[in-house]
Structure 1
């Protein structure tokens, strides 16, 4: 297949599909770092013209990363659902974009075709979309998952309560949990990034959240975001683990740099499912989604694990979409792109971070994932909280499943800027969104009232209440 286009009297040629995908991508610093970005706006437009005319079927015949040497590629091709793909199989990428934005493409139909959409197809069509296109198409799709709460329902916005502490201090973590719950945060998960990656530390933190959750009968789930092998070891020691966490990427080599494989993820999923800790949700079903994955554009490039079949780099946004194939395989409760955390080498400023967040959310939803977003930036990026306010509002309009709730939006352990409990309440108020139904009932209950009373008592200030909450 020829990959070229004449624009303004100049013929722009592209060596292969990987090159077209890279050059068609809206500019970002990571692709420039990898020396695969379009060299001019004109070349980018020419690549987008070429991409728009490529049949979707071509992506099923032309792997960007070798099937023989990459288990993520094998997963993508071996699990592709041809029947689900059939309604759109005759379209080009440009026609697929037009169809996604049409009234014909309802949320129900988009959910039905999800098993037939490959990550490369999702990434390709996103490269032809404006910001409003990414929002409009994603807003149609609802992906609902359940453990003790039901996340992703239309008209709802959930939050991960993120009470990190730079020394894993139990009292500091418990105080942050109090703060978040009192402000209506935590219905997606109470998730702690631990300083110490040891089974003993993980078990202690999980036991603390379990004590807290049981004392106030909070309908939520807990997670300590240690390495998957550490969490499996904690399960073997009897830890009360709800969700099993792992960061994942879009190539076998990048996942290997994380110390994981598809078989290890399967082992972890089976270990977490064996505990049968899911609760009865509002519709009477018992929650069974036990996995929590985080991703981020640039992770494969940063690990030097980003090369395609021709030995040259694949663009970071396509590799990010491939990470969603890994996540999709394990039916997770939660997936989120930690969009600005990797730094300005990959997403330089607020504009690039915002575009990437909307792309990630759209691609994940199109692939059938329960997408959230850590709307964030590092302190050396050319971004600020105004940029995050804009992305927060755009993602809320696009129907994001959940966001982060960090005390003051400033994570003092990971040293980056995210969104706060108050930011979630702003978004719920301005868009008329509500928490997960099980959590909403709890907020109106006497259990929440008792939490409020305890939090305002002198006992909290003296540490007596926290002592009662912490496991021996």
Structure 2
């Protein structure tokens, strides 16, 4: 295994596969904060050249965190299709990139290949891709999943209706939900981030959303994004839960700060299969984001992109209905600029799809980043071109509870029209029944939430 490379008469010596992966990454402020990034563009090129010549076996035999020390590593390796891995183990990362980007390579081949790739391998090949490469590769893969509706069908683009409220006011949540529905947002899920994470508040919001869905016969699913333990309590008490949610990180120690373990997620998954009121068979919803491990100082000298890939390796253990990133949510200490967040979104979408996940994207940013609405819209358009299953729908694009910027209800409708995409089929028929949409376009009634009063 060669860990050195000469560029412009300068020889760069790398300490390990982990070091090469970190220094081959595109610029991210969190990697600089962690002291693991390439210090010059030349060093980054050298790391990419070295990475391209590593075999998949080299990466397999050198996980960024050892198997015996980290349960996320164990979950990734234990779930690997060993026969597929053995058939490709001598392929180099550069050869894998060429195979993925060949015009003749289709979804079936890529998803078969996926089963034999560890998360570090998927991150590695993504580091050798340009932004257009990432869009092209991600576009090839379309992963469907079913809860009450089926997400990811060709020609569709769904949205999470996100009616968060700073005081968890039921009246405010429902008013915002109705506005989003009137713009055609909510076919992926109606999902609320609660301010207060306890069983009483969870039950109150969940029941209110279910009453709304049942009253108007809305073909969708609901989710209150409390901690997984709160949702497990709710399931035991018979609260009508459609989807079980949890945020994930890419290291065991970072997940411990989230208050979760793999056995706990295994238990939640089993409970969801048994007790969720939705049709299934996919009952889980995950969120991830580049930089969470850096911000918690639980990154173990692994770069943000590779850690994000490891989140997806853990997530595929549970066959989720939805998974999306929020890589621009933390702030400039992990993702500094609009350029960095666009790159992260494209990396995340490719890596999630390459793991065989029904991937959505939250092309979000915070006001203290060097990013603006134009950056966000560029990221949204590129990820939509790359086949994101869904985006967020936030009133005015400004979440008044979480204090960050994301895609608005208006953005949702615009992206569908730009690319000629439709809502999920059941949801489109429902929109037509209320006069909100006709022949794939919003009508003049769109945006009038009084339809639901």
Q: Tell me if TM exceeds 0.5.
A: yes
Shift of 1:78: 1.7
Match of 1:292 in 2: 285
Question: Relative to structure 1, is the Cα distance of residues 360 and 455 closer, same or farther in structure 2, using a 3 angstrom cutoff?
Answer: closer
In the TM superposition, what are the counterparts of 1:116-265 in structure 2 within 5 Å? 116-265=116-265
Q: How does 1:276-355 map to 2 (within 5 A)?
A: 276-279=276-279, 287-307=280-300, 313-355=301-343
Q: Please say if 1:50 is aligned against 2:44.
A: no
Query: Which stretch of structure 1 is more off in the superposition, 80-89 or 359-368?
Result: 80-89
Shift of 1:88: 3.4
Could you tell me how far apart the structure 2 residues matched to 1:356 and 1:93 are? 20
**Structure 1: which 5+ runs fail to align?**
280-286, 308-312, 466-472
Deviation at 1:191, TM superposition (A): 0.3
1:11-50 correspondence to structure 2 within 5 Å: 11-50=11-50
Q: Which residue of 1 aligns with 2:363?
A: 375
SS of 1:289's partner is: coil
Say which SS state the counterpart of residue 68 (structure 1) adopts.
helix
8 Å CA contact retained: 2:286, 2:323: yes
TM superposition shift of 1:114? 1.6
Q: Deviations over 1:266-299 (max 9, x none)?
A: 11122222125234xxxxxxx3111000001111
In the alignment, the residues of structure 2 paired with residue 3 and residue 87 of structure 1 have an alpha-carbon distance, to the nearest angstrom, of 24
Look up the SS of the partner of 1:269 in the other structure.
helix
Partner of 1:413: 401
Secondary structure at the counterpart of residue 37 of structure 1? coil
Equivalent residue pairs, number: 446
Counterpart Cα distance in 2 of 1:127 and 1:299: 19
TM-fit CA distance, 1:155: 1.1
- Structure 1 residues 21, 455: CA separation in 2 closer, same or farther (over 3 Å shift)? closer
Residues 217, 447 of structure 1: 8 Å contact kept: no
For the structure 1 residues 452 and 434, does the alpha-carbon distance in structure 2 shift closer, same or farther, using more than 3 Å as the test?
closer
- CA deviations 1:82-103 (Å, max 9, x no partner) are 2233553331001111111002
Question: Tell me, which stretches of 5 or more residues in structure 2 are unaligned?
Answer: 438-444
Distance 2:71 2:167 in 1: 37
Q: CA distance change for structure 1 residues 276 and 297 in 2, over 3 Å: closer, same or farther?
A: closer
Identify the range of structure 1 (195-204 vs 105-114) with the bigger mean alpha-carbon deviation.
105-114
Q: Deviations over 1:31-77 (max 9, x none)?
A: 00011111100010011000000011211111210111111111112
Aligned residue in 2 for 1:427: 415
Match of 2:429 among 441, 446, 451: 441
Q: Secondary structure at the match of 1:134?
A: helix
**What SS class does the counterpart of residue 456 from structure 1 fall into?**
helix
1:456 match: 450
* 1: CA distance, partners of 2:80 / 2:134: 23
Q: Give the Å deviation of 1:7.
A: 0.8
Greater shift in the superposed pair: 404-413 or 434-443? 434-443
Name the Cα RMSD after superposition. 1.7
Alignment partners' CA distance in 2, 1:120 and 1:196: 36
Secondary structure in 2 matching 1:135: helix
d(CA) in 2 for partners of 1:156 and 1:102? 25
Q: Secondary structure at the match of 2:115?
A: helix
In the TM superposition, residue 456 of structure 1 has moved relative to its aligned partner by 2.7
The answer to whether the Cα contact below 8 Å between 2:241 and 2:276 also exists between their aligned partners in 1 is no
For residues 45-84 of structure 1, the aligned pairs below 5 Å read 45-84=45-84
